[in-house]
Amino acid sequence: MKAIVTGGAGFIGSHLVEELISNGAKVHVLDSMVSGQRDYVHPHAFIHTEDICSTEAKKIIVREKPDVVFHLAAQADVGRSIHDPQYDANVNINGTVNILEACHEASVRKVIFSSTSGVYGNLQKAFISEEDLTCPISYYGLSKLTAESYIRLFHQLYGLPYTILRYGNVYGPRQTAKGEGGVVAVFLDRIKKGMPLSIHGDGEQTRDFIYVKDIVNANIAAVNQGHQETIQVSTAQKTSVNHLLKMLTQIHGSKVNTVHTSGRTGDIKHSCLDNKKARQILKWHPKIDIFHGLSETYSLHLINSSIKD
């Protein structure tokens, strides 16, 4: 199998590239390196340093004619989307349209798109299903939802096959202290520097934290499953920021100081995704519980930070 991974030098993308190569795939990485790191990319991958909005990015897909395109490249910082909605829309909407046009022209067998729980906004439900109302409260959530609609319409008009995966809050090694779901990386950076952790609001906001390797396995499963489906990839377990702090304190082995600040515009109070559809259709389930995932992330984060220092 030949695959192109947009955003393949980033947090999730670089882990996906590794797994694809270990499974024998020929992998091309398409990444602007705005937030990606060349050092994260597997040495056997072919790297193309291009913006997904560019004509050259489109030419690469048409020339390489991959079997599958994993479209992960995105502007994923909720705060930046609020302050600069035009940039957010350009990357997440126009960039996606550019990739879709290339995939159609190259007769790509399937597009697997990384979306987000942010498309639902602030739904007051214990568990969110794929059929629930989508009502984003940030431009990031809106741009990802719009990109989903373009993908479905490309299938309707041209028959381009797809699977849309809506992630919970992904965490793990290589995550930067920015972007959606970056609270674990932010906390680890501050713990390493001996700085207090900032808790926005009362800390009782909850998220469905899912380890990056489980996300990678869902993407691999979507190659042969879930055709023309929108599927949530999650643990279906909610964890408050306060509980996250308790676990990190236990893993760190000593007290961590905290300060409370006001809540942030565009932040969702509670988010937990039902994963029944992923279990049934993708034949996938999460394998790594949050404590073990945090422990592994903590260890690797400190090791990687020490190497960079």
Strands (E), 93-207: 110-116, 162-167, 169-171, 197-200, 206-207
Q: Exposed, middle or buried by CB within 10 Å (0-12, 13-18, 19+), for 174? A: buried
Active-site hit among 139, 140, 211, 298: 140
Q: Which amino acid is at 68?
A: V
Please state, in angstroms and rounded to a whole number, the distance separating the CA atoms of residues 238 and 272. Answer: 6
Nearest to 32 by CA among 98, 131, 84, 79: 98
140: annotated active-site residue: yes
φ, ψ for residue 2 (rounded to 5)?
-105, 130
Nearest to 260 by CA among 274, 242, 246, 277: 242
Active-site positions read 140
